[in-house]
Amino acid sequence: MWWFLILILSLLGFGLVIDWVAKKKGLTKFDPEENEKNVPDSQRIYTENYLQQIRNQDDQGFH
């Protein structure tokens, strides 16, 4: 049981360190419009098709 607690705490600590490094390096400034320019057409089409399927399922009452 102790190993589970140690695992959880170490993962939380690792996440805190990664966040701290990201903030220190200034990786918190993301421009969505700039990122959108770098998305390939195939990824954009896949995402739009997936969202359309989800909307259709919601309209039909499937969850």
3-state SS of 1-60 is: CHHHHHHHHHHHHHHHHHHHHHHHHCCCCCCHHHHHHCCCHHHHHHHHHHHHHHHHHHHH
Average pLDDT score, the chain: 85
Report whether pLDDT(46) > 80. yes
Report whether pLDDT(31) > 70. yes
C-alpha of 15 from chain center: 14
Report whether pLDDT(58) > 80. no
Is the pTM for the entire model greater than 0.85?
Answer: no
Question: What is the amino acid identity at position 29?
Answer: K
Q: 52: pLDDT confidence band, cut at 50, 70 and 90?
A: very high
Report whether pLDDT(1) > 90. no
Q: Are 22 and 28 in contact (CB under 8 A)?
A: yes
